[in-house]
Amino acid sequence: MSIKVGDVFPDTILTYVPYDANNPEACGLPQQLKTHEAFKGKKVVLFAVPGAFTPTCSEQHMPEYVQRIGELKGKGADIVACVASNDQFVMHAWGKSYDVKDDILMLSDANGELGTALGLVNDGTARRMGPIRLARFAMIIDDLKVVYIGVEPAPGVTFTAKSLKKESARLKKQSAGDEKKVKASIKDGDVESARIHASNAIRKKNTSLDLLRLSSRVDAAVSRIDMAVKMQHVTGSMALVVSDMDRALRKNMNLDAVSQIMDKFESQSENLDLHAKYMEGSMNTTTTLSTPQTEVDSLMQRVADEAGLELSQELGVMQAPQEPLPEDTRLNERLANLRNAL
């Protein structure tokens, strides 16, 4: 069972390599950190990631904490710590890559003792990352008591959604590149190549939209999972409230106690309403395997219009519009007069 708000943080041993201000490039000897000794009487912001130097953790999670370290310390955090499943030397190197110095304590849970005690581990075997990997979470600990915890609801699904968005952006960029090739081919008078590039641009754009829609559906699924997790916490809290109310009613009808419990009950009910409000958008499918000829012709015409070119699809010739030269006009007039005289 996972740890929850109100629980005592487990007493485990983590390891780290201390930062040496006198020799910041040095890699010192590993030290042990006993959580109850280090966190007792202090407010700790602890965030966990599955692995150091991994793309998602390095690009999206670690930088946010580095940027907001001053804000966290300003709000009363005595310790800001990052923990991952890597060994202490890797964690030290990861922290050094962000120049965190001793602002963020880089902790190692290589044996998975903390993650197991918290009930917040994932099996990374399928991704060749080992059977025990820390879940991605953030936690606030005040004098060894957990006062806040946020856990990523579906790590694999969340990663999939981000991958889909990234691939969608890549295809959108490629589609724009193909449109430029259409323009170049039109200028060269190569209608057939322009048509091929236009077909590729449309197909990639449609695929990009499909991936974006799919990532939205995955995000919606993650939201539902997240809501289900929160609902479990709310349900457990409300069960405790009902139990407290029953005891208060049995003990001499203590109205003050009942009133306080009702306030707590109403607060939990508001949380329940809040977590129940989520939206699921409907998706329209787009065919990406084929590109209708009308769409290809339309794209080619649009590119030609934007470039100020004249597109002759029937003749397969691309030419820029030209004004008749004055000399040609006078020559035609003389020829016409000569015919009339004859």
- Which residues are catalytically annotated? 57
Give, as one character, the DSSP assignment of residue 253: T
Q: How many CB atoms lie within 10 A of CB 205?
A: 22
Which pairs from 162-165 meet CB under 8 Å and 24+ separation?
162/56, 162/215, 164/211, 164/212, 164/214, 164/215, 164/218, 165/211, 165/212, 165/215
Angle of helix 155-187 versus helix 191-250 axis, rounded to 10? 160
Which pairs from 304-311 meet CB under 8 Å and 24+ separation?
304/183, 304/186, 306/183, 307/183, 307/186, 307/187, 309/186, 309/187, 311/186, 311/191
Backbone φ and ψ for 325, nearest 5 degrees, come out as -75, 145
Q: What is the four-CA torsion angle of 156, 280, 139, 63, rounded to 10 degrees? A: 70
Give, as one character, the DSSP assignment of residue 124: -
Angle value at C-alpha 107, between 103 and 109, nearest 5 degrees: 165
- The radius of gyration computed from the CA coordinates of the chain, to the nearest angstrom, equals 33
What is d(CA 294, CA 309) in angstroms, rounded to the nearest whole number?
19
What is d(CA 282, CA 294) in angstroms, rounded to the nearest whole number?
27
145-151 and 137-142 beta bridge pairing: antiparallel
